[in-house]
Amino acid sequence: MFPRIPWKDVCWTNSTFLISTLVLTLTAVPWYLWHFGLSWFQGILFLLFFIATGLSITLGYHRLFSHFSFRASWPVKLFTLLFGAAAFENSALSWSADHRRHHKFVDDEGDPYNINKGFFHAHMGWIMFKVRTATVENVPDLLRDRLVMWQHNNYVSIAVGVSFLLPALIGYAWGGWEVALGSLLIAGVARVVFVQHMTFFINSLCHTLGSRPYSSRCTARDSALMAVFTFGEGYHNFHHEFQYDYRNGVKPWQFDPTKWSIWLLEKVGLAAQLRRVPTERIMLAEIAEKQRQMDQRLAEGKFTLPAQWGVRLQTAQQQLHHAVEIWEQKKTEYTRCMEQKWEESRQKVAALKQEMELASERLRTAIEHWQEEHRLAQAALV
């Protein structure tokens, strides 16, 4: 039976969990709903846990720990580590190591979820089969993070506690064993399945369907539809071209709840140093990619341009290159100016420090003189 499956390479722990949670979602959850129905409490609990675990993956595991797109205070890090574990997608350390390897070797042999090995492999096959050796040598920054290492060393207990025990306990406190069972199945098991496949679709569908407005150097694609189901992660072509930007949906109208959450965290003082790609670089990438696609279509003979349009195209290309040169020149001048201002500021700080040291010395001498005079006055009275 199933002779083509490499049984010796099956990762039984991962495969059993993925299959059993899916089976329970398709059987036990409908059974519960048939007998007990769905209350508003369980619906809200599912939604809250879905948002908490989903954002912990996209905001925490992905943009914070994997790409260091912003700095976060320890409460934010702790929250995303707790509820990120509840998604059962491994520890933040291992997840980030795999993801950084994906960006480094995208579409090549070193890519853990290489789409060229098939849709199923990119979606979840790479988790179910022992197709790689897990290493964490590419996350030295996370190895030095005590919170990350605490989560890594206690991952299973945290995941079980937050993902299954917590919703069951909340349900029991609300309405007894009946509600506890429903909370476990709906906000626990079913929610895990939804969040996991939300993440898996980024590795599979967002490398298969969609547009490539910024770069065609890899298979990553932008999909507004997938962004709706993945907290804004669907703008995957932009992310692969500008992976350190805290935004995926960079346009104001693009749906990216993760970006908005990071922005709000900054406003309330829980996040800082949000990394943004300059608008000019994004525009240049878009223009260059459109030009490349048009050149390719011309070369393939899919359409031809009238002679006058050829001249216009050549003129436009020259103007583009000229604009790029000016932009690079201005950027260099700005950098040089900022370096000069920094040197001037450093000199001013050094001079101010010297003045403060001199003033401090004068104050110390004055205090010593006052103390001596006070001592002599006391001696004269005696």
Structural domain includes residue 35: yes
The tens digit of pLDDT for each residue in 217-274 reads 899 999 999 999 999 999 999 999 999 999 999 998 999 999 999 999 999 999 999 9
In the predicted structure, residue 190 carries a pLDDT above the cut 60: yes
Structural domain includes residue 1: no
Q: Which residue has the higher pLDDT, 317 or 125?
A: 125
Structural domain includes residue 314: no
Instruction: Provide mean pLDDT across the span 43-53.
Output: 97
The tens digit of pLDDT for each residue in 275-287 reads 999 887 888 788 7
Q: Which one, of 234, 230, 261, 267, lies nearest residue 246 by Cα? A: 261
Q: Are 262 and 63 within 8 A, CB to CB?
A: yes
143-152: list long-range contacts, CB under 8 Å, 24+ apart. Answer: 143/93, 147/74, 147/77, 147/78, 147/81, 148/65, 148/77, 148/81, 148/91, 148/92, 148/93, 149/93, 150/81, 151/81, 151/82, 151/84, 151/85, 151/91, 151/92, 151/93, 152/91, 152/92, 152/93, 152/94
pTM of this prediction?
Answer: 0.79
Structural domain includes residue 225: yes
The tens digit of pLDDT for each residue in 6-23 reads 667 788 889 999 999 999
Instruction: Provide mean pLDDT across the span 148-164.
Output: 97
Structural domain includes residue 297: no
Q: Domain tally for the chain?
A: 1
Domain, as residue range, for 254: 7-280
The tens digit of pLDDT for each residue in 317-346 reads 566 666 666 666 766 676 666 666 656 655
Residue 31 — very low, low, confident or very high, per pLDDT cuts 50/70/90?
very high
Residues 6+ apart with CB under 8 A from 138: 97, 100, 101, 104
Structural domain includes residue 67: yes
H helices present in the chain, as ranges = 12-36, 40-55, 74-85, 92-104, 119-120, 126-128, 140-143, 146-153, 155-160, 166-175, 177-183, 191-204, 224-229, 236-241, 257-267, 279-299, 307-381
Could you give the count of Cα atoms lying within 13 Å of 88 in the half-sphere of its Cβ?
A: 24
Structural domain includes residue 112: yes
Structural domain includes residue 15: yes
